[in-house]
Structure formats: C-alpha cells, structure tokens
Amino acid sequence: MLLPPEGHEPVLLGQVLNYLAPGPGQTFVDCTLGRGGHALAIAQRLGQTGLLIGLEADPRNLRYAADRLKASACPTRLFHANFSQLKQVLAEVGRDQVHGILADLGVSTNQLFDPAYGLSFDQPMPLDMRLDPDLPRTAADLVNHLPESELARVLYELAQERYSRRIARKIVESREVSPIKTTEALAELVRSAIPRWAGPVRIDPATRTFLALRMAVNREMENLTALLREAPAALAAGGRIAVISFQSTEDRAVKQAFGSLEKTGVMSILTKKPLTPTPEEMACNPRSRSAKMRVAVKKSCSLLVASC
C-alpha cells in the first residue's frame, strides 16, 4: 500500500464536518491531531475568530500537524498530550467548555509504515509500538517479561484472540531461549502457534496479537475511558462530540458511554447506528474500511432541568 500524500488520509471527513458543524468564532478540540487532516478542515471553518485546541501523544505527528495548520487563519493551541488529560489541557488554555470535540482513535498510516514505531509485521522492525516515546514500556518489554497468564489475558481481552493461551505459551517458550526483539520474529511465532485445524484465515493470524499489544503498550482503553468520562463536562450546551474507532472493543466502549449519558439526560445520541465510510471512500482509502463514528450532543440547560 502506498503512503498517502500527507502520510494519512482523514477518514469520514465529510461526516465529521456535517455532524460537528464547526462555525466561525467557535472553540474546538481535536484530541488526536495525527497529520492534521481533520484539524485543518475544522480550523478553516472556525476562522480567525475561532480557536482550535489540539492534542497529540506522538511528538513527531504533532510537529507535522502544527506545520500544516499554519495554512489556516484560525488561532491554535497545540499540546504534546494524551487525551486522557483533556481537563488539564483546557485549564491550561483557560477554557472550561468548548463547542466540539473530535477523537479519531488508533494510529495514522505513516506510523504503521515507519520502522521507528515498530508497529507492523509487514516488514522487520524493532518491537516497540509506543506512539509516545516517553511511555515506559515497549511491546518487547511486555512479550519478554509479562507472566504467561497475563499475556494470554491481554490478547483475549483487548483483541478477542481465540488462541490467546497457545500464543502466550509459544511466546514464553521462545523467550526462554532468547528475547523476542522484532515484529517479524513475533509474527512468525504467532503464526506457528495457530493450530493447523484452524483452517484458512482471512487476515494474517498475527493481526489480533499486534493489536492487543499496541493497545496495552499505549493504554488505549484506559485513555478512552478517561476521555469519555471527562468530555461531557468539557462541552458547552449544544456542543458535540464525535469518536471514530477502528475496532470493536473501542466502539463498544463509546456506544456504552454515550448510551448511559443519554439515559441520565446529559447527552443525546445523534447516530443511532454508527456512521461508516461509503464504498467510494473505502475504495480510495482501504484503511477506512473498519471506521465507525458515533456522535452525541450535550443537552441544553433547560432540557437538562426538564429531564431531572
């Protein structure tokens, strides 16, 4: 697959703009700046009287997005920060509440391709997987040091890997001989752990193991839970949040969080079913295939009072 011109093609861009409806003078947060595709389109709509607050865990993507955002007249405040720190970032900017929040979860295409991130098994790379180089543990640390039962739990809980125990056993047997250091070595091990009777497979058997390890290294579920907890208070009445996820564990968490916020009368869900890319978008950008976007709006004060 070729790298898109900016290193990443923003997914569901039209739907993001339609549902979040950024307008002149408003304040928006892009929790996952990435290569700045969504952020630039939003900033252009906020205009010179608006404010775009951007967060990004990866300082390399942050630099790229910051540069790209110079093309818009909208003022920006950009942070090397995890979106679990949304509340602290807003306090730093001096804004309690904003009109819109976007979180486009996971990784950008350039991160998958660049050996420095150690995310992909398509080519040999050091087994790292940290999006933020300040994080304490790499994927190599996890596979070489986690107890076997913990490894199996991570694979099963984060990526529903049905052969989690076999894979964990194989990893432990292998690391007793020598440490596992590359994505290629780990992928080979995983493939060899899948039983022959499993039959032909649609995706590479290493896919789920790699997803689970990336999520564990970057604490992706913990961060998403924190964001979903903090976001409602950070939205002004009528403010909207859109979350784009690429796998079922995350989408379920977003669906449940929005569902309970609707039940308690804090938010209304705008997407009863998640929005997905059109066949045209999938054809142009195959990585968009698994994207699901859910959007919710914060109820106004009067509605809040009425529902209490």
Ligand X SMILES: C[S@@+](CC[C@H](N)C(=O)[O-])C[C@H]1O[C@@H](n2cnc3c(N)ncnc32)[C@H](O)[C@@H]1O
Which positions lie near ligand X, rule CB under 6 A? 8, 10, 31-32, 34-38, 55-58, 61, 82-83, 104, 106-108, 131, 223
CB of 15 to ligand X, least distance (A): 13
**8 Å CB contact between 143 and 180:** yes
Nearer to ligand X, 189 or 243 (CB): 243
CB of 200 to ligand X, least distance (A): 30
Nearer to ligand X, 35 or 240 (CB): 35
Nearer to ligand X, 56 or 161 (CB): 56
CB of 63 to ligand X, least distance (A): 11
Nearer to ligand X, 170 or 287 (CB): 287
CB of 30 to ligand X, least distance (A): 7
CA distances from 53 to 11, 56, 163, 205, 234 (A): 20, 10, 42, 39, 12
**Which of these, 202, 206, 203, lies nearest to 193 by C-alpha position?**
206
Nearer to ligand X, 3 or 305 (CB): 3
CB of 109 to ligand X, least distance (A): 8
Position closest to ligand X via CB: 34
